[in-house]
C-alpha cells in the first residue's frame, strides 16, 4: 500500500471520529476514544445515540459517497468523457424512479423493508444508462453535447415522473415523504440490516471493478482501437454498465439523488494522481467516502437541530465546479 493511500485512510479515520462526536448531542472525541480503550464507559443515552443514530448514519454517508464516486469513475471511462456522472447522465434518476415504484406499488415483501426498492433502483439505473448510451453515441463515441442533452432529458424525465406516483399513494404521505427526501438527496437514517444490504452491494461492486479498471484505460483509445488490441469491447461495456448501475442503486437506496459527487471526486483524484484507472479506483472509493461524510456531517450540523439535505450542499459545491469543467472542456481539444 502506498504512502498516499495510508494518508487518505488515516484522514478517513479522523473524519469518522470527528463526525461521530459532533451532532445535536455532542460526544467529545476524548470521551469516545477513552471508551474505545475500555476506560470510562459511555452513558446509556450516549450509547443509543452512537449505535442507533450516529454510526449508521456515518457508515451510510461513507458508503453512498464511495458508491457514487466509483460509479462516476466507471461512467467517465465508459463514455470516454470526463463530464459523465450518475446524476448527470440519468442513472440516478432511473434509480429513483425504480425505487419509488418499489415504495408506492409493491408490498414490502423484502428483507429489511427496502430489498425490492433496491432491486428496482438497480433496474431503473441500468435501463436509463442503456437509454442514454443509445441516444448519445455516434459511431461508438459519445460526444459531450449529445451526452449532456440525453442525460439531462432522461434524468429530468425519470425523476419527475416519480411525482406521478403521488396519486397512487395509498397511505397518504409516508411514501411521498420518502420520495421527496430522495429527490432532494438526503441520507436516510438506516437500520443495521439495511446497511448490511448496501454494504454487500458496495463490496460486490468494488470487487467487480478490479478487473475492469485496466480495461477502461484501453477503452480510452476508442472502441475500435480497443477492439483491435483484443479487448472484448461489448462485454466490457455491459460489465461497466451493470457494475456502475449496481453502485448507483446502492447509493440511491440510502441517499436518493445526490448530485455531482460522482463528478467531483474522480476529477479531483485524476488531477492529483493522473488518469490511470487502476490507480484511481481505490483512491476514488476512499476519497468519495471522505468527501460525502464531510458534506453530510456539515448538512446535519450547520443548521442544527434542523437538517439540510446533503444533496443541497453537494449541488451548491458541485454546480460551479461542473461549470468550470465545462468551460475548461471548451478550451481543451481532448473532449
Partner 1 sequence: MNELLAFADVDFGYGERTIVSDLTMTVTRDACIALIGPNGVGKTTLLRLAAGTLRPRAGEVRLHGQPLASLRQRTIARSVALVPQDVAVPFPFTVEQFVRQGRTPYLGLFGGFDRDDRDAVERALDLTDTARLRSRIFNQLSGGERQRARIALGLAQNPQLLLLDEPTQHLDIGRQMEVMELIRQLAAQGIAIVATTHDLALIEDTFSSVWVLAPDRPLEHGPPRHILRSELLEEVFHCPPRRGSLLREPLLVRREAMQ
Give contact residues for partner 1 (rule: CB under 8 A). Answer: 80-82, 141, 210-211, 213-215, 217-218, 220-222, 224-231, 270, 274-276, 278, 332-335
Residue 141 bridge partners (DSSP): 138
To the nearest 10 degrees (0 to 180), the angle between helices 3-21 and 29-36 is: 110
Residue with cell 442514454: 132
DSSP class of residue 258? -
Contacts of 16 (CB under 8 A, 6+ apart): 58, 62, 293
Q: In angstroms, what is the minimal distance from the CB of 173 to partner 1?
A: 46
Cβ nearer to partner 1, comparing 115 with 222: 222
Cβ nearer to partner 1, comparing 81 with 100: 81
DSSP class of residue 141? B
Cβ nearer to partner 1, comparing 115 with 275: 275
Cell numbers given for 247: 453502485
Give the phi and the psi of residue 141 in degrees, each rounded to 5: -115, 155
DSSP class of residue 85? -
Q: In angstroms, what is the minimal distance from the CB of 293 to partner 1?
A: 27
Degrees to nearest 5, angle at CA 213 with 87 and 66: 45
Q: In angstroms, what is the minimal distance from the CB of 275 to partner 1?
A: 4
Find out whether 173 and 201 touch, Cβ atoms under 8 Å.
no
How many angstroms separate the CA atoms of 193 and 334, rounded? Answer: 45
Cβ nearer to partner 1, comparing 28 with 211: 211
Cβ nearer to partner 1, comparing 173 with 230: 230
Give the phi and the psi of residue 231 in degrees, each rounded to 5: -80, 135
Find out whether 310 and 185 touch, Cβ atoms under 8 Å.
yes
Q: In angstroms, what is the minimal distance from the CB of 228 to partner 1?
A: 5
Q: In angstroms, what is the minimal distance from the CB of 70 to partner 1?
A: 16
Q: In angstroms, what is the minimal distance from the CB of 245 to partner 1?
A: 21
Helices within 229-276 (DSSP H only):
233-255, 261-273
Cβ nearer to partner 1, comparing 57 with 80: 80
Q: In angstroms, what is the minimal distance from the CB of 79 to partner 1?
A: 9
Residue 278 bridge partners (DSSP): none
Cβ nearer to partner 1, comparing 209 with 247: 209
Cβ nearer to partner 1, comparing 82 with 287: 82
Q: In angstroms, what is the minimal distance from the CB of 255 to partner 1?
A: 28
**How many CB atoms within 10 Å of residue 224?**
12
How many angstroms separate the CA atoms of 286 and 144, rounded? Answer: 28
Amino acid at each position: 500500500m502506498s504512502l498516499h493511500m495510508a494518508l487518505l485512510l488515516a484522514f478517513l479515520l479522523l473524519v469518522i471520529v470527528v463526525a461521530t462526536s459532533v451532532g445535536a448531542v455532542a460526544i467529545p472525541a476524548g470521551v469516545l476514544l477513552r471508551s474505545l480503550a475500555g476506560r470510562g464507559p459511555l452513558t446509556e443515552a450516549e450509547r443509543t445515540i452512537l449505535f442507533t443514530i450516529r454510526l449508521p448514519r456515518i457508515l451510510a454517508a461513507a458508503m453512498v459517497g464511495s458508491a457514487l464516486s466509483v460509479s462516476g469513475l466507471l461512467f467517465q471511462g465508459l463514455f470516454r468523457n470526463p463530464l459523465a456522472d450518475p446524476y448527470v447522465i440519468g442513472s440516478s434518476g432511473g434509480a429513483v424512479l425504480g425505487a419509488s415504484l418499489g415504495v408506492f406499488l409493491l408490498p414490502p415483501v423484502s428483507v429489511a423493508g427496502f430489498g425490492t426498492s433496491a432491486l428496482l433502483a438497480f433496474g431503473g439505473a441500468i435501463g436509463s444508462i442503456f437509454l442514454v448510451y443509445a441516444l448519445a453515441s455516434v459511431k461508438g463515441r459519445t460526444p459531450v453535447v449529445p451526452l449532456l442533452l440525453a442525460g439531462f432529458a432522461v434524468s429530468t424525465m425519470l425523476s419527475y415522473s416519480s411525482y406521478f406516483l403521488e396519486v397512487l399513494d395509498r397511505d397518504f404521505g409516508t411514501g411521498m415523504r420518502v420520495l421527496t427526501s430522495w429527490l432532494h438527496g438526503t441520507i436516510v437514517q438506516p437500520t443495521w440490516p439495511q446497511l448490511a444490504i448496501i454494504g454487500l452491494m458496495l463490496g460486490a461492486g468494488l470487487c467487480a471493478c478490479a478487473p475492469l479498471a485496466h480495461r477502461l484505460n484501453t477503452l480510452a483509445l476508442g472502441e475500435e482501437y480497443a477492439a483491435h488490441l483484443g479487448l472484448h469491447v461489448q462485454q466490457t461495456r455491459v460489465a461497466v454498465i451493470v457494475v456502475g448501475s449496481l453502485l448507483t442503486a446502492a447509493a440511491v437506496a440510502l441517499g436518493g439523488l445526490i448530485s455531482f459527487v460522482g463528478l467531483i471526486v474522480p476529477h479531483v483524484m485524476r488531477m492529483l494522481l493522473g488518469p490511470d484507472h487502476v490507480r484511481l479506483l481505490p483512491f476514488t472509493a476512499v476519497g468519495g467516502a471522505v468527501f460525502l461524510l464531510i458534506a453530510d456531517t456539515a448538512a446535519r450540523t450547520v443548521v442544527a437541530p434542523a437538517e439540510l439535505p446533503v444533496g443541497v450542499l453537494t449541488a451548491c459545491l458541485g454546480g460551479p465546479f461542473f461549470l468550470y469543467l465545462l468551460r475548461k472542456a471548451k478550451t481543451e481539444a481532448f473532449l
